[in-house]
Amino acid sequence: MKKAVVFGAGGFIGSHWVEYLKAKGFWVLAVDRKHPAYFTSSADQFILTDLRDKAAMKSLWIKEATLYQFAADMGGAGYVFTGDNDAEVMTNSAQINTNTLRLSIELGIESLFFASSACIYPRHLQRHGQDPYLKEDDAYPAHPDSDYGWEKLFAERMYMGVQRNYGIPCRIARFHNVYGPCGIYEGGKEKAVAALCRKVALAENGDSIEVWGDGHQQRSFLFIEDCLEGIWRLMKASNVERPLNIGSSEMVSINDLAKLIIKQSNKALTLRHIDGPVGVDARSSDNTLAEETIKWQPTVSLKEGVKATYLWISEVMKEEA
């Protein structure tokens, strides 16, 4: 039986990836500081530990496995773009990645996967009037718009360096705003889709919901099922030794995203714009390389994905009320 180790298995993508691997017949060791928030993991073994502790990481190492590294100090715009959490975001994530790579070199590992982010792309390419569809080569000259993006970009270089110097196969996915059921929707680290779904679910007919900034900022959002399929195809590919976009090219303004969620709710709501961190003006994923190399492209439309996500969040909130 094939073995996999999943770091960050209590988080959104990592927890879903554990379930995906189990459905594929893998034996899975899941590792995180927390269990998944909304369901019980199917992992064969789930260890609660702090991956910043190299000795703790070493004690659970399985060299005859593929290691998937999703663990990071991260969150939505309210956490990443204020600047208040930069030191923690960078040092915590860098420590986890350094430990992962040092032990891969010292103890051996079959192969590695690293979850990177579209936040690595330069801010000057993400202004209104620019082509928002970012290709992998657009990462350089580098100028991410947040320290979270800088850390992810540096980590990419570390993983590629280990692949180049030590021959350990590494695959890197640059995720573009992954969303879906079973993701956090409150507490300050939630992202745009989940945050707006929560606001709409809480609102009564005739209310207004808050939108940060003017709402004209544009993004693409990738449904979790498409994300998992992209990871699977990337890991099976033998010819992709560079970071690869895993995102949707279906772009939408935050205003229109909010209106789409409101429509799903069947409520009469309006938007109320307030000051808040908004990130770059416009960003979407150019999936040409993914289509060419791993024959992957998203299949779930934003409308379908938002419907599934809103229904899940609204039901959970009713149960918790």
3-class SS at 195?
helix
148 is catalytic: yes
Q: Shortest CA distance to 162 belongs to which of 106, 116, 117, 119?
A: 106
CB contact at 8 A, 179 and 44? no
Sheet holding 170-175, edge to edge: 45-48, 27-32, 3-7, 66-69, 111-117, 170-175, 244-246
The number of residues making up the chain comes to 321
What does the DSSP assignment read for 154-184?
A: HHHHHHHHHHHHH---EEEEEE--EE-TTS-
Encode 38-61: b = buried (16+ Cβ within 10 Å), e = exposed.
eeebbbeebeeeebbebeebeeeb
Encode 184-207: b = buried (16+ Cβ within 10 Å), e = exposed.
bbeeebbbbbbbbbbbbbebeeee
- Catalytic residue (one of 20, 68, 121, 148): 148
List of residues 6+ apart from 264 with CB closer than 8 A: 200, 306, 307, 310, 311
Q: Shortest CA distance to 57 belongs to which of 15, 35, 29?
A: 29
What are the catalytic residues?
148
